[in-house]
Amino acid sequence: MVVYLISHLYFRVNIDQKEVPKAQLIGFILLTNPWDRTFYTYMYNDQIMTLYILFCMYFTLANKPMLATFFFTLGLSVKAGVLLLLPAFLGQMQYNYGTVNLIKSIALILAFQVLVAAPFIAPLGETSVADYLVKSKLTGAGRNGFAGALPHWDYLAAHVELTVFWSWVDPGCYFDKECFADRVKMCIVLLNVYHFFIRKWCTI
């Protein structure tokens, strides 16, 4: 439903009214795709995080930046991997809504994360922000063999046979950190820098 609302809003605002059936077609494709629903049954909390990010996208298109920020930080509270979207999200916030809303957005994200993390980190809890970042794999530190985990789980989230987007990558490269994981992270950063600071000139 949220994907349909996003596509409907996009085609209505950015093209013209006669293109709205394209959004309806996207909705019907999703409803009639049994393999998509089967895939989600094997996931743990990714569906919840995806729902929050979809709401974030919808409210961004609907010109409601603070609601978009709220759902972004909700998604971040579920999975740390949402941090990979942070450069793009803040870049479009600056470009579309200006510096004041950018500052408000950063403040809301930080305040909400502190609020939900406070009961679990020292001195109230038994863990720390550093532990959370390490286990999220964002720093590259990974699990360090915890529970007998293989080294590649320090920087991968899915086996090559289960990945949705990277099944075309050679398995030898997929499990090699320098060949695959490091290059993907670098491309994410460079793509965001190019799009917002070179192509869109979001600081002007």
In a domain, residue 146? The reply is: yes
In a domain, residue 186? The reply is: yes
In a domain, residue 152? The reply is: yes
**Tell me, what's the pLDDT at 102?**
92
Which carries the bigger pLDDT value, residue 112 or residue 23?
112
> What angle (nearest 5°) sits at the alpha carbon of residue 44, between those of residues 24 and 108?
75
Question: Per-residue pLDDT tens for 119-178?
Answer: 777 777 777 777 776 666 566 565 555 556 677 777 777 788 877 778 888 989 998 989
Domain carrying residue 170: 140-204
In a domain, residue 114? The reply is: no
**What pTM was computed for the model?**
0.60
**Tell me, what's the pLDDT at 82?**
86
**Tell me, what's the pLDDT at 74?**
92
In a domain, residue 192? The reply is: yes
In a domain, residue 162? The reply is: yes
Q: Is the dihedral of CA 174, 176, 181, 184 positive or negative?
A: negative
| Among candidate residues 138, 131, 164, the one with its CA nearest the CA of residue 81 | 138
The total number of structural domains in the chain stands at 1
> What angle (nearest 5°) sits at the alpha carbon of residue 185, between those of residues 60 and 116?
55
**Tell me, what's the pLDDT at 105?**
94
In a domain, residue 199? The reply is: yes
Q: Cα–Cα distance between 142 and 134 in angstroms, integer?
A: 6
Q: Cα–Cα distance between 109 and 80 in angstroms, integer?
A: 13
In a domain, residue 191? The reply is: yes
Rounded to a whole number, what is the distance in angstroms from the first to the last CA of the chain? 36
